[in-house]
Each structure stands twice: as structure tokens, then as C-alpha cells.
């Protein structure tokens, strides 16, 4: 794994106080990457549904974790962590064992079912719209296997681009932290230090992973 500057690595964060459970991010991801039925790279979950004042919705996908637990348990070493922190995997190497799914704290790995008996295919997950490993950028093969490569085009991932309330943030760590701090200061409530939020701690601070 290549070393990178934590302040400059790319990270995801969903501002729960802005998420309205519209599922725009999930639909945008499905459409942009032409995902097969049954595979959801991004999904919106709601906690404490129906309980007034406690209901929280948040957008979940691969968080491209520090030290990526999925990569640590992969028996065939199909994962590759880029210098900017994006976690990619090679579908031609993946054997569909499912170890990554058990290790992932966010349930991100997806396994398309093939054939009448539902045999698992190679694992699929969010690529942060960065394409795949060992493929020519923006090639037909890359799109077929991994979907759009918006990062190579200088664009943000489609889920964040389509978020109507800008709840879903993606970008360099230091910038995301500053945007969130400004929001909390403006509205007067929220987790003051993004590093204390559960998803951020689990994904990017391994000593705090549960």
C-alpha cells in the first residue's frame, strides 16, 4: 500500500442533518454505472424510523477506509489502494469468497447472482467513480466492469453531484472537515469535531474501529 498524506486523501462523509432520505444518490449511482439488478453500490438507511426527533437518515457505501479491512482479509490480494486513498479491486482476480463482506463495517461489498442456482459472481462495490484497476482509463472494458471514471475527468462522484441537499460530501479530507465545521458553526448544532462522528472514526481512524 502506498503512503499518502491523510489531509489530502479522498474521503466520503454524509451530513446526517441534511440527508432527507430521497435516495437520489443511490439512484444516480445505479443509473450512471448501469448496475445489474440486485447490486446497490450506494444505499440510504434510516435509523429510529418513525420516532419523532430521533429519526436519522444517512447514505452508505464503501468509505474507502484507512487500511481497508476488506483488503486485509482478501485471500487473493485483489485490492489496490491508490495514493489518494481510493480503494479499488480487480474483478479478474476476485474469487467471490465473500471474506471482504464479513470484514467491511459498512456492508459495502456486493455480489451479483448468476444462473438459476444463484452462484455468486466477482465482488462489486463503490469505486468512488474512479474506474478500475489495470484498465485503460475510460475504456469500454473499464466501464463494463467498473462503471464511470469521473475522477479521471476531474469530476466528483455522481452520488455527491446529484445530492439535492449537499448532504453527501466527498473530497480531500482537510476540505471536508472545514466544510462540515462551517456548517455546524452556522446552524449551531451537530458533532463539532467530524473526527468524533461514528462513520469517520470507523473508516479513517483504525484505533477507534469497532
Q: What pLDDT digit, counting tens, does each position of 170-200 carry?
A: 999 999 999 999 999 999 888 888 888 888 9
Q: Cα separation of 148 and 40, whole Å? A: 15
Beta-strand pair 10-14/168-172: antiparallel
Closest of 146, 129, 120 to residue 84, by C-alpha: 129
For 7-16, letters b (16+ CB in 10 Å) and e give: eebbbbbbbb
Beta-strand pair 87-89/79-81: antiparallel
pLDDT in tens, 10-40: 999 999 999 999 999 999 999 999 998 889 9
The reported pLDDT for the residue numbered 116 is 62
Q: Cα separation of 1 and 36, whole Å? A: 30
Q: Cα separation of 196 and 199, whole Å? A: 9
DSSP letter at 139 equals -
DSSP letter at 52 equals T
Q: SS3 for 174? A: helix
Other C-beta atoms closer than 10 Å to the C-beta of 129 total: 26
The reported pLDDT for the residue numbered 134 is 81
What are the residue ranges spanned by the domains of the chain? 10-203
Give the architecture (CATH level 2) of 10-203: 2-Layer Sandwich (3.30)
DSSP letter at 199 equals H
Q: Cα separation of 185 and 55, whole Å? A: 22
In the chain (210 residues long), the average pLDDT of successive 10-residue segments reads: 70 94 96 92 91 88 94 96 94 94 94 70 94 88 94 95 96 94 91 87 72
Amino acid at each position: 500500500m502506498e503512503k499518502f498524506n491523510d489531509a489530502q486523501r479522498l474521503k466520503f462523509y454524509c451530513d446526517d442533518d441534511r440527508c432527507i432520505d430521497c435516495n437520489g444518490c443511490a439512484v444516480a449511482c445505479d443509473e450512471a454505472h448501469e448496475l445489474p439488478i440486485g447490486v446497490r453500490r450506494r444505499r440510504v438507511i434510516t435509523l429510529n424510523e418513525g420516532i419523532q426527533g430521533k429519526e436519522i437518515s444517512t447514505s452508505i457505501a464503501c468509505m474507502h477506509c484507512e487500511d481497508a479491512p476488506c483488503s486485509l482479509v482478501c485471500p487473493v490480494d485483489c485490492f489496490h489502494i491508490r495514493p489518494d486513498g481510493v480503494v479499488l479491486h480487480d474483478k479478474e482476480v476476485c474469487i467471490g469468497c465473500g471474506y471482504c463482506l464479513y470484514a467491511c463495517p459498512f456492508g459495502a461489498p456486493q455480489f451479483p447472482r448468476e444462473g438459476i442456482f444463484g452462484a455468486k459472481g466477482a465482488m462489486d462495490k463503490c469505486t468512488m467513480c474512479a474506474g478500475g484497476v489495470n484498465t485503460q482509463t475510460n475504456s469500454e472494458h473499464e466501464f463494463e466492469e467498473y462503471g464511470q471514471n469521473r475522477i479521471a475527468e476531474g469530476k466528483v462522484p455522481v452520488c455527491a453531484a446529484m445530492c439535492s441537499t449537499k448532504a453527501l460530501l466527498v473530497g480531500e479530507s482537510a476540505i471536508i472537515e472545514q466544510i462540515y465545521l462551517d456548517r455546524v458553526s452556522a446552524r449551531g448544532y451537530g458533532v463539532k469535531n467530524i473526527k468524533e462522528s461514528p462513520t469517520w472514526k470507523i473508516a479513517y481512524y483504525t484505533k477507534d474501529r469497532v
